[in-house]
Structure 1
Amino acid sequence: MGQTCEDPRVNDLRVRPATEADLSTLVRLRDDAARWMLARGITGQWQPGELDESHFRRVMTHGEVWLAEAGGRVAGAWELWWEDEAAWGPQPPVAGYVHRLMVDRSTAPPGTGRRLLRSAEHRVAAAGRTYVRLDCLAGNVPLTTYYRGAGYRVVGRKEGKPQPGGTPKSFTLLEKDLGELPETRPGGCWTSESSVRS
């Protein structure tokens, strides 16, 4: 999994699988994003210090973690899971589940979050899946609105989803049908390195 992807649909962003060498960067991105939310009164979604390197290492083993760079600097990252029974229950293998969409607000150009999300959607489509699913804290109106603006629709609510080292929380479940994407396969980006792990 050493290939770097330059996808014209994400403009100047270069997307690549995260590696062990990126673990501290991923923790920093997550903590910075948590602080950014808290500074804007968005409480309950994420807390600084909640996840450590072992979390991202585990996701790399059972799913995928992608890192985006712009101008040689880290711009953001996201996790991609191929199942999420804690939120969605048992499901047929038709979706990819995006978690921890994070943007480095000190270096990323405007619109990076949407471009990262679009890149994740293309990755899911390249794996032959037809839906992208995600969740956000129930009551987080700004984030729900953000995802709805990106073409996601609210399809349910999960009460009492377990949290890393914390009290279970309730989440809004959102989904996007990839059949609605104008093009779903970024040429040359998602090749054999991108096979779905089960």
Structure 2
Amino acid sequence: MAPKPPPPPPPPPLRPVTGTRQPRAADPARRQAQRWDEPRRDGRQRGTTEESGIDQWKPGGKDEEHFRLRRKDGEVWLAEVAGRRVGAFELWWRDEPAWGPQPPEAGYVHRLMVDHERAPAGTGRAMLAHAERRIAGAGRAWSRLDCIAANPRLRTYYEGAGYTVVGEQPFKEGGGGSRYAVTLLEKRLGA
């Protein structure tokens, strides 16, 4: 019988992007946004799901104003290894465009991104678990998220992390007034 492979290295530590001031070039949220736009040696975009074959986020799709508003109304978290950003996610406390008006019973995870070239194995799941702890710590029973309905690979990823599909929002409004379908997933916390 072959010996078991060693466990993967621990995931990187997470830190919040804090404050509500206007982002500047030296602002961590702006650096984070710029970081994900850097191309890799193979020409694919770093920090997007393109690296893992999951086509969801496009480089440059979110500007400074987006991150400023997220920090005002929610949280932006970064994962770093040796001073380099290797992952990020946003935690919102409401999400009416996807979920409609809801009682304050959930937190909503958005834009979970991992740099698969630099992040240790398990970084995405570690960030998702961190978001779930933040949500539960706020006294909310559900972690919710959505993904583009035409993205079965990402849906499978979230289902593997314990999320259940609960519906679809066929007309979520995106930037510039575009509309697209999203699959809604949720996970009961602390059960």
User: Is residue 2:28 matched to residue 1:22?
Assistant: yes
**Runs of 4+ with >6 A deviation:** none
CA displacement 1:98-135 (0-9 Å, x = unmatched):
00001122321111101110111111111111100000
- 1:86 maps to what in 2? 97
- 2:107 maps to what in 1? 96
Secondary structure at 2:190 match in 1: helix
- 1:129 maps to what in 2? 140
What amino acid does structure 1 have at the position aligned with 2:74? G
Question: Does the Cα contact within 8 Å between 2:169 and 2:182 map onto a contact in 1?
Answer: yes
Runs of at least 5 residues in structure 1 that lack an aligned partner in the other structure: 1-9, 181-198
Secondary structure at 1:25 match in 2: helix
- Alignment root-mean-square deviation, CA: 2.2
**How far apart are 1:67 and its partner, in Å?**
1.2
The count of aligned residue pairs is 169
Question: Does the Cα contact within 8 Å between 1:26 and 1:56 map onto a contact in 2?
Answer: no
Which stretch has the larger CA shift, 135-144 or 61-70? 61-70
Point out which structure has higher relative CO (alpha carbons under 8 A, 6+ apart). 1
Runs of at least 5 residues in structure 2 that lack an aligned partner in the other structure: 1-8, 38-44
TM-score, reference length from structure 1: 0.77
- 2:6 maps to what in 1? none
User: How many percent identity over aligned positions?
Assistant: 53
What amino acid does structure 1 have at the position aligned with 2:50? M
Q: Aligned partners of 1:102 and 1:35: how far apart in 2?
A: 6
**How far apart are 1:28 and its partner, in Å?**
3.3
The structure with the larger Rg is: 2
CA displacement 1:15-49 (0-9 Å, x = unmatched):
21114421233213554457552883x55x33222
- 1:184 maps to what in 2? none
Which stretch has the larger CA shift, 117-126 or 46-55? 46-55
TM-score, reference length from structure 2: 0.80
